[in-house]
Amino acid sequence: MTALRKNKQTTHEIELKGQLALLDLTGAMYLPAHDALLVADLHFEKGSSFARRGMMLPPYDTRETLLALSDAVFRFNPKTVIALGDSFHDIGGPDRLGTEERTTLSGVQQGRDWIWVTGNHDRILPDSIGGQVVEEMALGSLTLRHEPAAGKQAEVAGHLHPVGKVVMRGRSTRRRCFLTDGSRCVMPALGAYAGGLNACDAAFKPLFATGFTAHLIGTERIFAIAKSMLCRD
Amino acid sequence: MSQRPPTLLPKTFRDWFKSRGWKPRAHQLDLLAKARAGRSVLLVAPTGAGKTLAGFLPSLVELSERGSRGFKEKRGLHTLYISPLKALATDVARNLEIPVAEMGLPIHVETRTGDTPSHKRARQIERPPDVLLTTPEQLALLLAHAEAQEFFKDLRRVVLDELHSLVTSKRGDLLSLGLARLMTIAPQVTAVGLSATVREPDDLRRYLAPQHSPSPGGGGSTDRSGWGGSTDIDKVEDPTPSRALGATSPLKGEMGHEALADLVVVQGGAQPDIRMLDLDERLPLAGHTASLSMPSIYGLIRTHKTTLVFVNTRLQAEYTFQELWKLNDDNLAIALHHGSLDVSQRRRVEEAMAAGKLKAVVCTATLDLGIDWGDVDLVVNVGAPKGASRIMQRIGRSNHRMDEPSEAYLVPANRFEILECRAALDAVHEAAQDTPDARVGALDVLCQHILGMACAGPFGLEDLYEEVRSAAPYAGLTWEEFQACVAFVATGGYALRAYERFAKIVKGNDGLWRVRDARVAQQYRLNVGTIVESSMIKVRLGKSMRSRPGTVLPRGRILGEIEEYFAETLTPGDTFLFAGEVLRFEGISEDEVLATRAGAGTDPMIPSYEGGKFPLSTFLAARVRAILADPFEWDRLPPQMTEWLLQQRRRSIVPGPRDLLVETFPRSNRFYMTCFPFEGRLAHQTLGMLLTRRLERAKLKPLGFVANDYGIAVYASGDIAGRAAREPGFLDELFSEDMLGDDLEDWLAESSLMKRTFRQCAVIAGLIERRFPGEKKTGRQVTISTDLVYDVLRKHEPDHVLLRAARADAATGLLDVRRLGMMLERIRGRIIHKPLDRVSPLSVSVMLEIGRERVYSDNADEILAEAEAALLDEALA
């Protein structure tokens, strides 16, 4: 087991609009040219959102998501962190954040530019949550937004929670993934309770007219998988 | 059996028996006497003994004595009958109407099932019938009703049919809790259990009687997981189970404080006429299709009136059905019946069978119990018998007149199954039983029950605890476990008390717990029950478009359902057997599998999904090992078998009954290791997973493994035999029991089987809502993947009650960890390593599974690496 751990390869290089992007095992993306770390669909406090409706999911999802987030942040130590929307599962999310989680979040934000892009789950974010709130933004030649826009775009977006399913000789696995055609990238959801939408779903079709490569997040590293190898659910 | 004077029976009844040309049977009168004495009783009787009538007779007599009720007079329910099958409840109701009508008794009999219309349900609560026939799930719903107290307060008797089959599952746990509640509401109630012969009748007697065990001391929890299972080791060491009738284990008899229902045993009827089908041909070493025996089976069908052909899996059912029809020159009415077929199709078969229109039915466990089929005069069991009791119950499906022998044939499909059939035949002749041990009540079921009780009305914690512990499966429940379940129902029961304000049940100022609002009660009603079907997906026959070849429209009829995880492993173009036809998988559209008829003569790619549901019983396994180990026994085997074993002895070793033979040999650049624990496929799969982990750590580069009911084969690119030669004790270390420690824990973290187990517990306990088969997700419906929940919970609260429940299930369920633990203990210091230069006769049988069986792996990265390589190949091509 220890032997395997040593082989763990946390980042995976791709090219996006002519610049280097490092895809991370946590589901984050680092853009060295801008010293910026991108994360999508954190869905903080999804557990407590369900609890309100009588489904008492383990209340540790925010903690777990923060663990992944801080792992990526402290490894890359970027100047800027940009969360691409749906950072909270609902508008009441920031208020339900536990004390411990709030402290952890502040610690991760400390000393960096922190930008919250708003999403459909969190159109409004209170000031108390720190950082800057935007609807979308430009980063070099890339536009960063929550929901992918129509048409051909140079953008990084979230919203769709892509997962890829692979079946090889009767064995199957379903993993979160980055989808990209070299110009657009749809990022996986980082939230512990954020489910996934199969990359073969019709929702992805208009975004990638010329196809895409899926970068599936395995246990020890990220794998580049051809679209033709992906299966429906 | 004491001869009771028939005067116990009122004249009306005596006359009725006479008019039918019957005499009341001794056990029927015994049950009447027990009822008069206010005793609960277990009736153990073979099929055809008039069990059901015996169970109802006391109620019919009592009800006839109390006279007819006035038009407006309201009376409570007198007798409640619970059956595992809806169809059985309906059938029994019909049969019960006969004596009621013929004697003109003023008794009102009704059924209540999922099909009962809502106005009738409401009326039943308002004006209860005298006798109500229903299922465990409906009982749970009735008990959660606000009117439950009123509805059941006059109840006199509960009749539990097919109790032996009910108690082996979580349904039995739920029912035991319902029974405990009934006895609280109506302390006068007596329980009557009707059962086939079982190994430990005392387990069932305990189930029927309220237990009053002293409170388990301290706050610690009982070992519900059974990990390792060393306490059960005696059962493995001694393969001789108690004889069928009335034997009481001395140990249990000494435990003074336990309550037992009385026991009435009907001695078994005529010895069954059962034999192994003559084997003219050499059987293959592996496979389960029994293709060579089909002509003989067809011949038997022709010469009998009605034949039931039992098989172990749906796949075998499909195959057997198809093969029989290929031979069916006489156009005999041969039908197919298994759990995946569309319900209406199954009902048609059942009706045709009852009407005597069928010559044979090929069926799976779906017909193991159920309604009386009339004139079945032959049972054929194709494939491995799996368990002694199981095979006896199947044989009992033939000839429902207990005084005439049932006729049955066992048909082995491969050479190992010859051994298993031999062991089963011996067991049948000795009337030895191997029904499973009594269950320890599941915690997820308790969680569901607690919410149900809150829906019925306010409860006090201590009162409910005492009531729950009076149910035999929960007699050992600790206060700590009970509290954990209550806390789970209220707020999820997490150490991080985050959800207090959303609590589903709350404690009032009076100290009683109540359900928070009507919506929670509604949620309970929608999620009641313990049967979590693996997600099923409908199979629809598609139509190919002539104008556009390759395009398939979903225009055909629904053929039935298959497991979603099976559908997941199919790729377009794969062919498989279903509903008696070879189908071509076209794809999945809108929650349906779309398939077309494959061209004539297409060989189905027979994928094995989950193999047999029932692993070889511990008892039969021990007998098989004993036959194998004793050359004198070989004389009783067919010559082809003896020859094969002699070859094995020449080329390798035939292991002793307690030894584990490990063979190693090289083959086309790989190194193989095979072993034969005979512990059933599930335990072997778990063993294989753990062995490959350990071989990985030993840097022997394992590539995969396959498992069947008898053994496993692991293959690696590292030389396992070489390492074993250099390092004495290497194999002992490899097979040491500590694999059930960290290695197991590591694997559980990612095991898809464990995740499936967890999902079932989460649904039963009410953590997530049930998804109904065929129901489409609506936008408002919230769903969450339990796999994500499992990952988070396991990491942050590994001792949470749901994980405890899932681990307890895994111990005996899909992972069969407990049996693996018993095996590892049994073979400690008894591993015999035989390095060979090529595969031995014994090992061939499991090697043949390679390519036929799925290679097991939960390692996502392996699958992904393979898919990634495919991309590279494409790029370089």
Q: Which CATH number belongs to the domain containing residue A76 in this structure?
A: 3.60.21
Matching residue, tokens 């029809």: B325
| Domains: count for chain B | 4
Note whether B699 and B821 are same-domain residues.
yes
Note whether B194 and B289 are same-domain residues.
no
Question: From residue B455, how far is each of B122, B465, B520, B595 by CA, in Å?
Answer: 17, 17, 8, 45
Beta carbons of B108 and B135 less than 8 angstroms apart? no
Phi/psi-derived region of residue B606, left when phi > 0, alpha when psi is between -120 and 50, beta in every other case: beta
ipTM of the complex: 0.91
Task: Decide if pLDDT at A189 tops 50.
Answer: yes
3-state secondary structure of B135: coil
Among B567, B597, B627, residue at a domain's last position: B597
Instruction: Give dist(CA A59, CA B247) in Å, integer.
Output: 51
Q: Which of B499, B793, B860 faces A173 most closely, judged by CB atoms?
A: B860
Range of the domain at A89: 12-229
The predicted-structure confidence for A20-31, as pLDDT tens digits, reads as follows 999 999 999 999
Q: Is the CB of B792 less than 8 angstroms away from the CB of A58? A: yes
Q: Can you list the positions of beta strands (E) in B338-424? A: 360-363, 378-382, 407-411
- Least trusted range by pLDDT, from B180-184, B452-456, B706-710: B706-710
Among B430, B460, B487, residue at a domain's last position: B430
The residue of chain B with its CA nearest to that of A174 is: B860
Query: Is B627 domain-assigned?
Result: no
Alpha carbon B7 to its chain's center: 43
Q: Is the CB of A63 less than 8 angstroms away from the CB of B866? A: no
* Residue B222 contacts A, CB cutoff 8 Å: no
What residues of chain A lie within 8 A of the CB of B797, using their CB? 58, 60
Please compute, for residue B751, the number of CA atoms within 13 A of its CA located in the half-sphere on the CB side.
24
Res. B59 pLDDT band, cuts 50 70 90: very high
Q: Is B475 or B549 the better-scoring residue by pLDDT? A: B475
Which among B592, B753, B788, B791 is the top mutation candidate for probing chain A, defined by the most A β-carbons within 10 Å of its own β-carbon? B788
Q: Is the CB of A56 less than 8 angstroms away from the CB of B488? A: yes
Q: What is the pLDDT of residue B294?
A: 92
What residues of chain A lie within 8 A of the CB of B701, using their CB? none
Res. B73 pLDDT band, cuts 50 70 90: low
Instruction: Give dist(CA A34, CA A37) in Å, integer.
Output: 9
pTM of the prediction?
A: 0.85
Q: Which of B496, B569, B864 faces A225 most closely, judged by CB atoms?
A: B864
From B131's Cα to the closest Cα of chain A, the distance in A is 37
In this structure, the strands spanning B592-597 and B581-589 are antiparallel
Query: Is A1 domain-assigned?
Result: no
Range of the domain at B107: 6-211+232-265
The residue of chain A with its CA nearest to that of B522 is: A54
* Residue B873 contacts A, CB cutoff 8 Å: no
Query: Is B161 domain-assigned?
Result: yes
* Residue A67 contacts B, CB cutoff 8 Å: no
Q: Is the CB of A52 less than 8 angstroms away from the CB of B502? A: yes
Q: Which of B769, B800, B864 faces A223 most closely, judged by CB atoms?
A: B864
Task: Decide if pLDDT at B377 tops 60.
Answer: yes
Give the residue from B298, B370, B296, B363 showing the smallest Cα distance to B335: B363
Note whether B547 and B696 are same-domain residues.
no
Res. B698 pLDDT band, cuts 50 70 90: very high
* Residue B589 contacts A, CB cutoff 8 Å: no
Q: Record the tokens describing residue B173, joined without a space.
A: 């746990």
The predicted-structure confidence for B160-175, as pLDDT tens digits, reads as follows 999 998 998 999 999 9
Q: Which of A56, A61, A221 faces B767 most closely, judged by CB atoms?
A: A56
Question: From residue B367, how far is each of B46, B266, B358, B394 by CA, in Å?
Answer: 17, 24, 15, 9
The predicted-structure confidence for A133-167, as pLDDT tens digits, reads as follows 999 999 999 999 999 999 889 999 999 999 998 87
Note whether B253 and B330 are same-domain residues.
no
Res. B44 pLDDT band, cuts 50 70 90: very high
Q: Is the CB of A59 less than 8 angstroms away from the CB of B782? A: no
Which among B861, B873, B874 is the top mutation candidate for probing chain A, defined by the most A β-carbons within 10 Å of its own β-carbon? B861
Res. A1 pLDDT band, cuts 50 70 90: very low
Query: Is B602 domain-assigned?
Result: no
Q: Which residues contact B263 (CB under 8 A, 6 or more apart)?
A: B41, B42, B44, B201, B205, B246
CATH number assigned to the domain comprising residue B740 = 3.30.1360
Q: What is the pLDDT of residue B369?
A: 67
Note whether B11 and B114 are same-domain residues.
yes
From B709's Cα to the closest Cα of chain A, the distance in A is 20
* Residue B607 contacts A, CB cutoff 8 Å: yes
Q: Is the CB of A171 less than 8 angstroms away from the CB of B855? A: yes
Q: In what order do the strands lie in the sheet with B592-597?
A: B558-563, B536-541, B592-597, B581-589, B575-578
From A138's Cα to the closest Cα of chain B, the distance in A is 33
Note whether B163 and B43 are same-domain residues.
yes
Query: Is B489 domain-assigned?
Result: no
Which among A57, A101, A215 is the top mutation candidate for probing chain B, defined by the most B β-carbons within 10 Å of its own β-carbon? A57
Q: What is the pLDDT of residue B401?
A: 63
Q: What is the pLDDT of residue B852?
A: 52
Query: Is B389 domain-assigned?
Result: yes
Q: Is the CB of A3 less than 8 angstroms away from the CB of B867? A: no
Note whether B257 and B296 are same-domain residues.
no
Q: Is A101 or B549 the better-scoring residue by pLDDT? A: A101
From A45's Cα to the closest Cα of chain B, the distance in A is 11
Q: Is the CB of A51 less than 8 angstroms away from the CB of B502? A: yes
Beta carbons of A148 and A184 less than 8 angstroms apart? yes
Query: Is A189 domain-assigned?
Result: yes
Q: What is the pLDDT of residue B755?
A: 85
Instruction: Give dist(CA B237, CA B852) in Å, integer.
Output: 33
Task: Decide if pLDDT at B39 tops 70.
Answer: yes
Query: Is A2 domain-assigned?
Result: no
Beta carbons of B503 and A51 less than 8 angstroms apart? no
Residue B356 gets which letter from DSSP?
Answer: T
Task: Decide if pLDDT at A5 tops 70.
Answer: no
* Residue A233 contacts B, CB cutoff 8 Å: yes
| Domains: count for chain A | 1
Average pLDDT over every residue of B346-360: 86
Q: What is the mean pLDDT of chain A?
A: 92
Among B412, B430, B448, residue at a domain's last position: B430
Query: Is A3 domain-assigned?
Result: no
Query: Is B441 domain-assigned?
Result: no
Q: What is the pLDDT of residue B619?
A: 87
The predicted-structure confidence for B468-519, as pLDDT tens digits, reads as follows 999 999 999 999 999 999 999 999 999 988 899 999 999 999 999 999 999 8
Task: Decide if pLDDT at B781 tops 50.
Answer: no
**Which helix (H) or strand (E) segment is A198 a member of?**
strand A197-198
Give the residue from B419, B389, B799 showing the smallest Cα distance to B641: B419
* Residue A130 contacts B, CB cutoff 8 Å: no
| Three-state SS sequence of B491-554 | HCCCCCCCCHHHCCEEECCCCCEEECCHHHHHHHHHHCCCCCCCCEEEEEECEECCCCCCCEEC
Task: Decide if pLDDT at B4 tops 70.
Answer: no
Note whether B145 and B281 are same-domain residues.
no
Query: Is A181 domain-assigned?
Result: yes
Beta carbons of B715 and B672 less than 8 angstroms apart? yes
Query: Is B53 domain-assigned?
Result: yes
Q: Is the CB of B498 less than 8 angstroms away from the CB of A64? A: no
Which among A173, A190, A198, A215 is the top mutation candidate for probing chain B, defined by the most B β-carbons within 10 Å of its own β-carbon? A173
Task: Decide if pLDDT at B851 tops 70.
Answer: no
Beta carbons of B644 and B841 less than 8 angstroms apart? yes
Q: Is the CB of A229 less than 8 angstroms away from the CB of B871? A: yes
What residues of chain B lie within 8 A of the CB of A1, using their CB? 693, 696-697, 746
* Residue A168 contacts B, CB cutoff 8 Å: yes
Residue B462 buriedness (CB in 10 A; 0-12 / 13-18 / 19+)? exposed
Residue A229 buriedness (CB in 10 A; 0-12 / 13-18 / 19+)? buried
Query: Is A5 domain-assigned?
Result: no
What residues of chain B lie within 8 A of the CB of A233, using their CB? 568, 588
% of chain A with per-residue pLDDT over 70: 96
The predicted-structure confidence for A41-92, as pLDDT tens digits, reads as follows 999 999 999 998 889 999 999 999 999 999 999 999 999 999 999 999 999 9
Q: What is the pLDDT of residue A224?
A: 95
Note whether B718 and B853 are same-domain residues.
yes
Average pLDDT over every residue of B593-620: 66
Task: Decide if pLDDT at B252 tops 70.
Answer: no
What residues of chain B lie within 8 A of the CB of A221, using their CB? 861
Task: Decide if pLDDT at B280 tops 80.
Answer: no
**Which helix (H) or strand (E) segment is B133 a member of?**
strand B131-134
Note whether B301 and B251 are same-domain residues.
no
Note whether B36 and B93 are same-domain residues.
yes
Which among A26, A60, A232 is the top mutation candidate for probing chain B, defined by the most B β-carbons within 10 Å of its own β-carbon? A60
**Which helix (H) or strand (E) segment is B468 a member of?**
helix B461-469
% of chain B with per-residue pLDDT over 70: 83
Q: What is the pLDDT of residue B371?
A: 58
Query: Is B515 domain-assigned?
Result: no
Q: Which of B782, B800, B868 faces A55 most closely, judged by CB atoms?
A: B782
* Residue A173 contacts B, CB cutoff 8 Å: yes
The residue of chain B with its CA nearest to that of A96 is: B498
Note whether B251 and B299 are same-domain residues.
no
The predicted-structure confidence for B732-775, as pLDDT tens digits, reads as follows 999 999 999 988 888 888 777 788 889 889 999 999 887 654 44
3-state secondary structure of B270: coil
* Residues B174, B563, B712, B282, Cα dihedral to 10°: 110
Q: Is the CB of B784 less than 8 angstroms away from the CB of A56? A: no
- Least trusted range by pLDDT, from A47-61, B23-37, B197-211, B694-708: B694-708
Average pLDDT over every residue of B649-670: 92
* Residue A202 contacts B, CB cutoff 8 Å: no
